[in-house]
Structure formats: structure tokens, C-alpha cells
Structure 1
Amino acid sequence: MTDSATGATEADARLHRLLGGDDVAWLVRRARDRLETGRSLSGTVTLADATARQRRAVERLTGRPARSGVSLSVSLPELDRIVRESGAAADGLAEAVTRLTGPLRDLNRDRADTAAAWAAAVGPLDDAVAGRAELAAWRVWLDTTGTVRRLASSPDVALALLEQVAAVLRRLPSRGTPIGRLAAECCGDAHALDDGRPVGTLALSASRALAGRPFAGDGGADSRRAAWAAVGVHCDDLSSLVLCHGLAGDGRTALGRVLALQREAGQPAVLTLRQLRCHDEPLRAAGPVRVCENPVVVAAAADELGASCQPLLCVGGQPSAAGWRLLDLLAAGGAEFRYHGDFDWGGIRIAEAVRTRISGRGARWHSWHYDRDAYEALAAALTTAHPLARLPQSPGEPVGTPWDPALATAMARHGVRIEEELTLDTLLADLAELRGNRWRRRPDAARRSSASRR
């Protein structure tokens, strides 16, 4: 007796005998791949390194010997005809694949939906980065390296992750925030920015970008601490330091007494963020505060000017959280600042960051032998002194110099990097003249200063 149920059973059995075996499963998979990606069942499919069993299974299926060789090819139109003529599937190979392996997916639509979900996931990050040129290259780097997709298993996970990263970025640079507090306020988890956590990994690389450093870093604890400090976030308030010399201090506060003692001794002071955070009053400076980029300037000033040196602060590259705090305290005290740094694009970025911060506090910022005339004179002197030498080139992308637009033009034209150490004599003479002194390098100081630069 044959009824619809029995007929269906016989058709299913016939189909499984024809295409249900393990040795022809590869044929079904190839046909399904074609159907799910919107391609037609035309042409041939080939299996490299086919086994003897697979070759015999195709010979039984097609009724003729397989060609010699290590690969095995089957015509899909021929396979469709065989399925139809066998009565296993009236609608041919497409029906057979669906009955054997289940409903087909639309892989093209799935891919489009997944791409749309990932695009939506990075939306919060793109909003936070928009208009911030210093983060543009970092944003491209994230896509190029696939960092986000390595850290997030799906678009939904990525969306939650990047919303937190975006919240952190909106707070950077900071005025001196503990990392645990920043994490708690932005992510609801005081440990979200810890080493190895996904949010921490992405936010740390963004901090390096903001500081003009390599996005990946070297992975060490010191590098991580320095990168956070460069954007005003401290992992603890004792490791963030700032170097200064000749600040007047006072006799009333703990910080003031430290500064006064060090000035009297003619020695530089190394201040922790903790000391600076515990000081709530503005700091008064006796005269303009000179700001340099490199510690060697402070060392030379201490060697050769001692207690007679005018107020001098070293940002040590991108200012640490302690550095920003000291600048803020001096700005609140009405200090007028004079800035000098390396004549390279990294140095220009640091100078602009300091200028923007100080100006935003209502304080006056001026360059200190850090303009086009100074650069041109140094570049000419270097070229004359080393006509055959290969002079160091300024690395990085050019940036503007709003305090003297001609400086950026000159630096781009010459392309020569001039480190701050090459201007020591000019800077020291200037510091001495501020006191009404006539500066002449002392022989013993010259030896100490030379040693400090090595």
C-alpha cells in the first residue's frame, strides 16, 4: 500500500541512499554553500586529495568511472539531473540539500546584518573621537589591527565595551584623577581600567595616542603608569612626579616649606602628586616661571646657578598628573609662564598642550626662545658646524604653532630636529640675567653639567 506518508518515506530513503552517505557529504556541503551565498548550482565542484572511498561513491552516483588523478570533480547540473530522475527529490538538488541538512540561511543577509551590528557597536566610540585629530590615527589603528573584535566576542559585547571606553575618552585629559575613581564613574566598576581588562586595554592605547606615544606600548607597568599620567590619570599618587627648581615656597604649608628649603639649598625639588593634591592654596612665584621639557635643563641650572636660579619647572615630556597639578597651582597664583622645549613635532605637541591648559586657567603663556627666529638660528648653526653630517630629522606629522605660525613653517621646511640640550647656554644665560647676574659658566659646574647630559 502506498499513500502520501509511505511515498514520503520511500522518497526519503531513496534520497539518503543517494546523497546521505559520509563519502558524498562534501558534495552536499558544497551545494549548500552555493545556495546560502546566492549562487546557482552550475559548473563543477572539486575535492582535492579525494580518498578511494569518495572516488568509488561518486562512481556509483554518476554511473561512470572517475577520472584519474588525486582530485575529484563533479558537475552540479549533472548531479541535479540524477537527483530528479531518481525520484528522490522532484525539485532537484536544491530540494535534496534542504531535506538532508535543514532550512537554508541567507548568508549574504546575515553578513549584512552582522556588519550593521558592528557599525552600530562602534558608534559611541566614533562619537567620542569625532573632532579630535589627536585620536584619528588611533581610531584607524583599531580597525586595522582588529583590536576591538579580539576583545569583544560579538557586536552586543562590543557595544557595551565601547560605550564605556567612550565615557572614559570624554574625561581625558584629566586634571589628576585616580584611575579607580575614573573607572568607577565611567564604567560602574572601579577595576574596569585595570591591566588586562578590555576597557583598560582600549582606554590605555587611546591615552598613549593623546600623549603622542606608540599606541601599543611595551606592556610594562612603568610604561602603563607613564601613559596614564600623561593624560592626567594616576595609578597612585606617589609614582606621579614633577621636577622643579627655584620655586619660592612659604613657611606656612607643608609643600611651601619643602620648596623653600630646596630653594635655599640650591637644589631641585621632586614633588609627588600626593604632596600637590594635599596643597589647596595657589602657589605664588617670584617672577616668571620658566618651563622646560627636559630634566637636563634643571640639572644644569642647579649646577651653575644654584639658589640664584629663577623659578623653573620641567614637564619631562608630556606632563604627568603631578606636572599638570603644579602648573594649575602656579596658574591659580597668577604666574606668568615662559616655555621652551625640543624643536620637533612631539615637542610642539607638548608645548601646545601646556599652552592650552595654562591659557584655559587664565594665565599668560609665552614662548621662551621657542619661536621661528630661535629655530632658524640653531638650524643654521648646526648646518654650518656639521656640513657633511646627517642631521637628525624631526619625526612625526607636522602640527601648527599658534603662538608663532612661522615656526611650524620653518620646521617643515628644514625638517631638522633640535633637542633642548643644544640651547642650554642660551637658557642658562637668560635665567641668570633675570636675577641681574652676569652669567659665566663655572668650570666645576661645567663638568657636572656635561656629566648630567651624558
Structure 2
Amino acid sequence: MNDPESIRAVWDLPELRGLWERARQALEAADRPATFRLELPDERTRQKVGEVYGRPMWGQGTRINVSKLDESLRAGEHGVDLERLLEILHERPITRQESGSRRRGGEQDRTVGVLHAALSEHGLAEQPWAAAWTDWVRQYGRVADSDLDAIAEHAAAVLARLVLDPDRQPRGWWSRTELAARCAGSEYELDNGTTLSRVVLRAASMAHGTDSPGGERDRRNLWERCGVTPDGISVTVPCWALPLAGQDTWSSTVRERTELGLPTHLTLLDLRAAPEPLVEPGTVIAVCQSARTLEAAVAAGVRHPVVCLSGRPGTVALELLDRLRADGAVLRLHCDFDWTGLSVAGALYERPGFVPWRMSAADYRETVNRAAARRTDLRILDENPTEAPWDPELPEVMSSAGRAVEEEIVLDDLLHDLRNGLDGAVS
């Protein structure tokens, strides 16, 4: 039944009232935000909000995407949309405030018309952030009228290539210069300080529900969330002994470094110049989280291929791993036994081609017990647990033991597997 009483019985709960109040504020705002921040003060609230939103909640707060919340409600048992639900719960309709420009007569000036037309051409005009962004450009974007048509066209072309859904991870990467050259005809048009960069980053921040970037680090982080690396050379991925299939100069250069006992730090420009395919189907490649693991393999003269994530995988690492997966490689993944390590492993495990390597609850128990016997210090494991979809028991075991196991602690085990091949290595 979708009558008001049955809906109130299901959704009018103390734990959800904060969610409904914040959702109403978002829907009634003059420029409806795409997301809003929601506090999660206790486990009961996290559980109930997670059930509504369709994913587990962790920590003391989260960012809620308004469109996704609406979709989750529509797909639920009662099939009610967000506006109708709030009207029933609060017993009053949604009343959207008018922005200053609309109160002054709702005029559609040239700026709004040009921007809307450019967004429409790329299928972006109905995105949740589009109206607010258009108003911002009109009022604060500082776009000269003589530049408006070109800026609108170039900005829409750039935005159409960005990842603007905060719940989606980039699957491919642009360098900022590539993107500028493709969409604006000049590799310099998205450099810091340009008009195009300013308006594009504002749209990206609105789409992701973040503040406008205030410095270089914030700009880099926002670009990367959108699938863009700020340049093609500063970010690298360390590799060792990649068994490249090509007989070209690029492949020969990488192989020569292996013969010299040197790892290779590949950049995005390197990957753009690399041949297809990189490796033969079925090639088994070790993927580690710590540079110490790759360094140990080099020092030991182990010729098994290794790719290092250097903590959290950056843009170039993800690009390389996607290329290897597309070639049919098998990626044996090992990360630290801490919550960051499980988060990294979990995100990669969702992609086909990744197989855990010594990442089970049994592996963790064995290592902790061995460390205790040898009186090896293990860092205290704190913060909130992270799921491990390849072994659901693992987070519980780690929480119980309360100790983190970094890759350096198990170097001997990892090197043993690399020497003997990972085809039969334990998972």
C-alpha cells in the first residue's frame, strides 16, 4: 500500500528525520544542490540511512546524492519519489525558493541561453548541477561577452568527458593538456587561472558536492575525481620486469632497464606511447601496495613482473592496470592488512581480472601469530572497519586482533611466491 499512513509507518522514524530535513532543504533551495552533508551520530542512524540509500554507512557523516536518494526510494517496496515522501511526512508541499535573478523577473539573458544551449548539445542541461552552475557563471564567472560562445562550447565539451557522478569512479584518464587540446583547440586552455579552467572546476565542484578548490592540492584532487590527471609526467607507476609483448623501441627500452636491474616509472605519456597489447593473455602480474615490496623483488633479482600502487593507486597506476586487464593479464593483488589496504583492495577487486594474493583471514591470523612469537611490533589498528568482499570474515578477524600488518612484515612470504610463480600461490 502507498497510502500516507503506511508510508509514515515505514519512514517516519527518529533515525531518519535528519535525512528528511536535509533532503527538504536541498529540494527547496533556490539552486538545488546535487548533494548534501548528513551527520550520522550513532550506529542505529547509520543502519537506517544505509537501508534507505542502498549502501552501508560508516563514520560520523556522509554525503548524500539527491538523485540517488530519489532513485533508491522509487526502486523500493513503496515506489514513492522523494518529493512525494517529504510531502507526506511533513504534511506540506515542497516549495522551491526563487533565486535573486528569478525574483527580478525570470529573465533569460544571453549568458543563460548560450550556456544552456551548449550543455544541451552534450546532454548535460538536465544534470542536477547545471542550473546552479549556469547561474554562477552568469553572476560570478567573469566571462567576457566576446568570449562567451567559445567558453560555453569548450566548457560543455570538457564537462561531457569528466566523471561528474560522485558515486562513480573514473575508468579511464585524460591528461589536462590532452583534454584542453581536444575540446578547446589549445593544450594551455585548462591551465590554472584560465577562464575555462575556472568555470569547469566550478561545475565539477558543484557536481561532486564539494567546495570550490582553494589551492593546488584541492584542484589536483578535484581533477582526479573527475578522471583527469593535471599533467602527463608528474604521476608515475613503478613497475618491475614487465614481460612486454612488443618488439618495438618502447618495449625494448623497458626490457633493457630490467636487464640493468632497474625498475621503470611509467608516466601517462609513456602509456600513451606504449604499443597494443602490452602483454600476452594469461600473463600473471603481482600488484603490491608498498614500494618496499617492489624494491625487495629488484634487490633479490626476482624476475616475476610487479606493479606497485605506492599506497592508493593514482591515475597512471589505474590506467596501466586497466590496460593489463584488457590484454587478459591475471593481476594477483596484495595490500596492507589495515583499513586503507582493504579499501584499496576492495575497490580493485570489483574490477574483473584481480585475484587476491595472501589476503585471506587465515593469512592474517598466521601473520599476527608469527609476529607475536617473534616479538615483532605491529601497529594498532583503529578507525572504522572496511569490508573485504573476497573474504567477509577478514574484517571481523582484524577488528578482533586489533593489529595492522603492513606488507613489509610479510616480505619473505611474498618473495617466496614471486620466486616460485604466482599461478599456484595461496589466495
Secondary structure of the corresponding residue to residue 34 of structure 2: helix
Highest CA radius of gyration, 1 or 2? 1
1:135, 1:398 → 2: CA distance? 8
Distance 1:419 1:392 in 2: 9
Which residue number corresponds to residue 304 of structure 1?
Answer: 300
Q: CA deviation at 1:177?
A: 2.2
Aligned counterpart, 2:371: 382
AA aligned opposite 1:125: T
Aligned to 1:173: 170
| Contact 2:224-2:315 within 8 A present in 1 as well | yes
1:125 shift after superposition:
3.4
- Conserved? CA contact 2:133–2:202, under 8 Å: no
- 2:34 aligned residue (117, 124, 140): 124
Shift of 1:350: 0.8
- Separation in 1, partners of 2:228, 2:413: 34
- Displacement of 1:399 after TM fit? 2.0
Q: Which structure has more helix as a fraction of its residues?
A: 1
Q: How do 1:327-366 residues align onto structure 2 when only pairs under 5 Å count?
A: 327-357=321-351, 359=352, 363=353, 365-366=354-355
**Residue identity opposite 1:331 in structure 2:** R
The aligned residue for residue 266 of structure 1 is 261
In the alignment, does 2:301 pair up with 1:313? Answer: no
Q: Distance in 2 between matches of 1:269 and 1:375?
A: 31
Q: Deviations over 1:367-394 (max 9, x none)?
A: 111111111112223334449x7x5233
Instruction: Note if contact 1:379-1:418 (Cα within 8 Å) is conserved in structure 2.
Output: yes
Q: 1:295 aligns with which of 291, 294, 309?
A: 291
Structure 1 equivalent of residue 251 of structure 2: 256
CA contact (8 A) 2:34 2:206 kept: no
By how many angstroms is 1:287 displaced?
A: 3.9
**CA distance 1:168–1:339, shift in 2 (3 Å):** closer
CA deviation vs aligned residue, 1:268-305 (integer Å, no higher than 9, x gap)? 11011111023351221584100001111111111112
User: What are the superposed Cα offsets for residues 416-443 of structure 1, whole Å, 9 maximum, x if unpaired?
Assistant: 111111111111111112299xxxxxxx
Q: What letter corresponds to residue 273 of structure 2 in structure 1?
A: C
Range moving further from structure 2, 405-414 or 368-377: 405-414
* 3-state SS, counterpart of residue 265 of structure 2: strand
User: Structure 2: how far apart are the matches of 1:177 and 1:290?
Assistant: 26
Query: 1: CA distance between counterparts of 2:415 and 2:389?
Result: 26
Does the aligned pair in 2 maintain the 1:241–1:322 contact within 8 Å?
A: yes
CA distance in 2, matches of 1:272, 1:230: 18
Q: Which runs of 5+ in 2 are unaligned?
A: 1-23, 37-52, 66-98, 103-111, 113-128, 135-155
- AA partner of residue 252 (structure 1): Q
CA distance in 2, matches of 1:125, 1:300: 45
Residue 244 (structure 1) aligns with = 239
Gaps of 5+ in 1: 1-113, 142-152, 210-214, 437-454
8 Å Cα contact 1:289/1:338 also seen in 2: yes
Displacement of 1:234 in angstroms is 0.6
Residue correspondences, number: 293
Equivalent residue number for residue 5 of structure 2: none
Which amino acid in the other structure matches residue 348 of structure 1? L
Alpha carbons 1:262, 1:269 under 8 Å: kept: yes
The answer (yes or no) to whether the contact 1:241–1:270 under 8 Å persists in 2 is yes
Counting aligned pairs with the same residue, the percent is 31
The residue correspondences of 1:85-124 to structure 2 (distance < 5 A) are 119=29, 121-124=31-34
Contact kept, 8 Å, 1:345 with 1:399, in 2: the verdict is yes
Deviation, 1:246, is 0.8
